[in-house]
Amino acid sequence: MDIPVKRWYEAVQNRYSQQKYMAKEIKEFTLRSLGNKVEKLNKIYPEVRIEILPNSIKEILPALKGKYGNFTESPAFIAFIINDKGEHRWTKMGYIGEAAILEATALGLGSCWIAGRYLKGKSDFNIDLKRGERLVAVSPLGYSSESYNLTRHFISKLFPHRDRKNVKELCPDGYDPDWPSWVKNAIKIASYAPSRLNRQPWRFYYGENKLLLDSVGEPSSYKRLECGISLLHLEVGALDSGAEGKIKFGGLGLASFIKNR
Ligand SMILES: Cc1cc2nc3c(=O)[nH]c(=O)nc-3n(C[C@H](O)[C@H](O)[C@H](O)COP(=O)(O)O)c2cc1C
């Protein structure tokens, strides 16, 4: 993937899930920029795709079973769609989906992953799905009004990612402070990823130029998706520290970043 490293590195630190949105329409330029990026993202893996819809998130939410939280109307929303076949498709969905989220963040838009089982016909608005496709998550898109919510705003400004697990807990085989700085930075940035109820199901293992990401316990579909989200963050963190390399799906864990020697 073509990663604008500095831009998304900053977005990782600024992003947090937003439930409240202004009624204000999204600027045309902003929507077009995001649309262009999404078009490129949609060409990367045939198993997954993203769609931006000019509808309020409230139009689709009644059809999503398992969601939580109170959302306001939003001027648009993102749909995350996967095919029912294909290796690593859930992890890829998280990885590609988070790229859209980070780009939206960089463009000044608020977002919030919302996952749930899509029950077609339960909402007035129906997503146009092709044969074999499944809607697995959505996100509202718009200008957040939560920055006017003092408590939340101040807490997150003062303690960004205040509620993430300690890196030691995230590295079950041990965390060595003498690891190369790219590894430590990648783990830190990966730990800022969003997850359902902030459960943070990702774990990291490092050795021989390879930083491996796996889920804690059995990797359910949504844990795979969340690990995919974290994988993109991990790559952004590694690249930002100057490590050159590439990601690989599968192998010992769900995915890894392998640094060039
Ligand atoms: C797959 C997925 C599903 C989520 N579903 C919801 C949801 O239904 N409602 C909600 O308010 N937040 C949802 N979230 C957002 C998480 O609650 C949020 O990421 C987590 O609490 C960490 O907060 P942060 O994103 O602000 O860093 C979801 C996140 C992910 C990755």
Domain 5-148 sits in CATH at 3.40.109.10
pLDDT at residue 33, as a whole number = 98
Mutational test site, ligand 1, from 196, 198, 199, 229, max ligand atoms within 8 Å of CB: 196
CA angle 100, 250, 138 (to 5 degrees): 25
For position 146, what pLDDT does the model report?
77
67 lines ligand 1 (CB under 6 A): yes
Say which residue the tokens 């689709």 belong to: 60
- State the pLDDT at residue 64: 95
Residue 96, H or E segment: helix 89-106
- Nearest-CA residue for ligand 1 atom 31 is 195
Written as tens digits, the pLDDT of the chain (261 aa) is 999 999 999 999 999 899 999 999 999 999 999 999 999 999 999 999 999 999 999 999 999 999 999 999 999 999 999 999 999 999 999 999 999 999 999 999 999 999 989 998 899 888 999 999 999 999 999 999 976 555 555 656 565 566 899 999 999 999 999 999 999 999 999 999 999 999 999 999 999 999 999 999 999 999 999 999 999 999 999 999 999 999 999 999 999 999 998
225 lines ligand 1 (CB under 6 A): yes
End-to-end CA distance of the chain: 20
Ligand 1: which of 72, 80, 90, 114 to mutate, most ligand atoms within 8 Å of CB? 114
Q: What is the pLDDT of residue 234?
A: 98
User: Rounded CA gap, 149 and 205, in Å?
Assistant: 38
Q: Is any atom of ligand 1 closer than 6 Å to the C-beta of 105?
A: no
Per-domain boundaries in the chain: 5-148, 163-259
For residue 75, the number of C-alpha atoms closer than 13 Å in the C-beta half-sphere is 16
In the chain the beta strands, taken as DSSP E runs, fall at 48-53, 64-65, 76-83, 114-115, 117-118, 133-141, 202-207, 210-215, 245-249, 255-259
pLDDT for 163 equals: 87
Helices (H), 144-251: 150-158, 167-170, 181-191, 221-240
Q: 5-148 and 163-259 share one CATH topology?
A: yes
What topology does CATH give the domain 163-259?
Answer: NADH Oxidase (3.40.109)
Using the atom order of ligand 1, give the atom closest to the CA of residue 69. Answer: 11
| Residue among 199, 191, 181, 196 nearest 234 (CA) | 191
**Ligand 1 atom 8, closest CA:** 67
Q: Which residue has the tokens 């204000």?
A: 24
